[in-house]
Amino acid sequence: MSIVQDLYAIYDKEQAKYRARKSSQGLLLTEIRHNLAFLREGLREGLTPAAIVAGLEDAHYRDACRQGVDLDGLQKKKLAPDTFANIREFARYRDWSTSRLIETVYERIATLKKLVAGSAEVALRVRLKNLFKLLMVVLAHLEGRQLKVPASR
C-alpha cells in the first residue's frame, strides 16, 4: 500500500470511532430523557414502584461505558448553581462533573433494581421521586438549561 492509502485507512478508522462515540453519546442522552419521562408518568399514574424500576433503562449507559465514551463530552462544564435554581437540596452536587452526575444517576438505578429484586422493605416511591428530581437537574445540565422555580402561590 502507498502512504496515501495508509492515511486514508487511518482517517476512515478515526472517523468511524468518532461517529460511534457521538452516536453513543446521543443514545445515552435519549435514554436519560426516556427514563425521566417514564419516571414522571409512572409516578403520576400511580404505577407500583417495582413496575417503574423495571421500566428504567440502562443499556445505552452500559454500552457507553464499555466503549469508553467520555461522559464529560456531553457537557464540558461542571454543574452550576444556576442550573438547579439554587435549590438547597441540590447544593451538594454543585461543581460535579458531567461524568460523576451521570454515574450517580445510573448507580441509583442499579441500586433500585437490586432493592426490588431483593424485595427489600424500603420506601421505593420516595427514592423514585428523588431520582426523578436528580434526573431533572442532570438533564438540564446536559442541555445547558436552567431550571426555573415558580414563584410561591
The predicted pLDDT at position 144 comes to: 94
Which candidate, 38, 69, 36, 56, places its Cα nearest to that of 140? 36
| C-alpha to C-alpha distance for 153 and 145, rounded to whole angstroms | 24
The cell numbers describing 60, all together, are: 445505552
Residue 153 confidence (pLDDT): 46
Q: Rg of the Cα trace of the chain? A: 19
Residue 142 · residue 32 · CB < 8 Å: yes
pLDDT for res 4: 67
Domain borders along the chain are: 3-143
Report the chain (153 residues): mean pLDDT per 10 consecutive residues. Answer: 71 67 82 96 94 96 90 93 92 96 98 87 90 96 90 58
Please give the DSSP secondary-structure letter assigned to residue 121.
Answer: -
